[in-house]
Amino acid sequence: MPTKAEKTTARKKRLKSFFSIDRDRQVDGDTINNKLLNEIVAEGGASASIAACMQCGSCTGGCPNADKMDIPPRSLILMIQRGEWDKVLQSKTLWLCSSCYTCTSRCPRGVKPSDVIEAAKALAIREGIKNDSVKFNTIFVDLIKERGILFEPELMYKYGGLKEVIDQAPLGIKLTLTGKMSPFPEKVKDPKSFKKALEKIEKVSKK
């Protein structure tokens, strides 16, 4: 014979099933795995109320890049709550987010998915996750640090070698002819001061 407590649990399960709510969602309150969540908070997501997400989907609904992402913002937040470490840190979503902040402005619970994604990105780099997106991002940032302005052919060469430069050449020529890309490397007026300013920002953001 089932006990009274077992009967209550079974009834709750039936109700959740009836309303199509997944049993192991955060609404249960007892399935949050704080490890990943805490790491993301420590990486800069301190002002984001990750645990408050109610899975309304407003973030994904407004995201201009959601159709390209392997995990849309709503699901990413759920996975962070669950502590699905590998899936989150390997996700292409981290690198496809354009930081437009639409999700954050639409979120009714103060979750700030854009900040969460930034923090997850920093964590992925710190954890040494290796994939094409991390490689691209690292080269991009290093080049910006060096001269303040990106020289796209250099980025392509460092990312994918001569083959990538040749593949992207038709687009590069179009952009150059329309004045959207310089055919020569350029620098900001004072690269040393620019580099110092970046280092200062890095120090402050690590505190």
Residues in contact with ligand SF4 by the rule CB under 6 A: 53-59, 62-65, 73-74, 77, 97-103, 106-109, 111, 113-114, 117
Q: How far is the CB of 167 from ligand SF4 (least distance, A)?
A: 26
- Please name the amino acid found at residue 36: L
The smaller minimum CB distance to ligand SF4, of residues 69 and 156, is found at 69
The CA distance from 182 to 171, in Å, is: 13
Q: How far is the CB of 180 from ligand SF4 (least distance, A)?
A: 22
Q: How far is the CB of 190 from ligand SF4 (least distance, A)?
A: 31
Q: How many residues does the chain have?
A: 207
Q: How far is the CB of 88 from ligand SF4 (least distance, A)?
A: 13
- Taking a C-beta distance cutoff of 8 angstroms, is the pair 81, 50 a contact? yes
The smaller minimum CB distance to ligand SF4, of residues 117 and 119, is found at 117
The smaller minimum CB distance to ligand SF4, of residues 69 and 134, is found at 69
- Taking a C-beta distance cutoff of 8 angstroms, is the pair 44, 115 a contact? yes
The CA distance from 154 to 137, in Å, is: 14
Q: How far is the CB of 149 from ligand SF4 (least distance, A)?
A: 24
The CA distance from 4 to 13, in Å, is: 14
The smaller minimum CB distance to ligand SF4, of residues 76 and 155, is found at 76
The smaller minimum CB distance to ligand SF4, of residues 36 and 77, is found at 77
